[in-house]
Amino acid sequence: MNLREKCPMIYFDDLGDERGKLVVIEGGQTIPFEVKRVFYIYDSDGTVIRGQHANRKSEFVLINVAGKSKVRITDGKEEIFVELNRPMTGVYIPKMIWKDMYDFSKDSILLVLASTHYDGAEYIRNYEEYLKEVES
Ligand code: TYD
């Protein structure tokens, strides 16, 4: 499986009507894990790089519910780039994948759904350490 297949884009249905749009995300159904944690990142801009980590235990889905941002994703061998720019589209990031989020528009609200409760100890924030762990 290549990296693009490991980290697919997920296209949510638009249940909108003349009153507006509605997107539903159901844990274990529209995304491949049960959601234990939700957080969102806003007030970032084009000058910062966020993320810069891999997670030993967590899976994520990232969705720009407003504005846009980019994600650089690598498994230490391949590298892909994803642009998140619509509330109906997300990207799935499995465990042990390195990600950087950047190029946030001023109005960006990046919603992140996670499969775990927060545990800082499962984050790998050093790229050399990540390469060692992912290769072993
Ligand atoms: P960080 O992981 O650096 O954010 P990002 O991946 O978006 O760059 O998190 C920033 C701070 O917030 C850090 O001190 C850890 C804390 N934090 C939590 O306490 N719980 C969480 O669920 C997350 C994602 C972060």
pLDDT tens, 60-89? 999 999 999 999 999 999 999 999 999 999
- Please give all residues whose beta carbon lies within 6 A of any atom in ligand 1, as ranges: 37, 39, 41, 50-51, 118
pLDDT for 127 equals 98
Nearest-atom number in ligand 1 for the CA of 117 is 22
How many domains does the structure of the chain reveal?
1
**pLDDT for residue 136:** 87
How far apart CA 12 and CA 51 sit, in angstroms, is 24
Nearest protein Cα to ligand 1, atom 21: 118
Tokens, residue 21: 């749009």
pLDDT value of residue 121: 98
- Give Cβ neighbours of residue 18 (< 8 Å, ≥ 6 apart): none
Residue 121 belongs to domain with CATH number: 2.60.120.10
Ranges of residues in the chain with a pLDDT under 70 are none
Q: Which of 104, 118, 122, 123 to mutate to test the pocket of ligand 1 (most atoms within 8 A of CB)?
A: 118
- Domain boundaries, position 46: 3-135
| Residue 53 among the catalytic residues | yes
Catalytic residue among 6, 53, 56, 72: 53
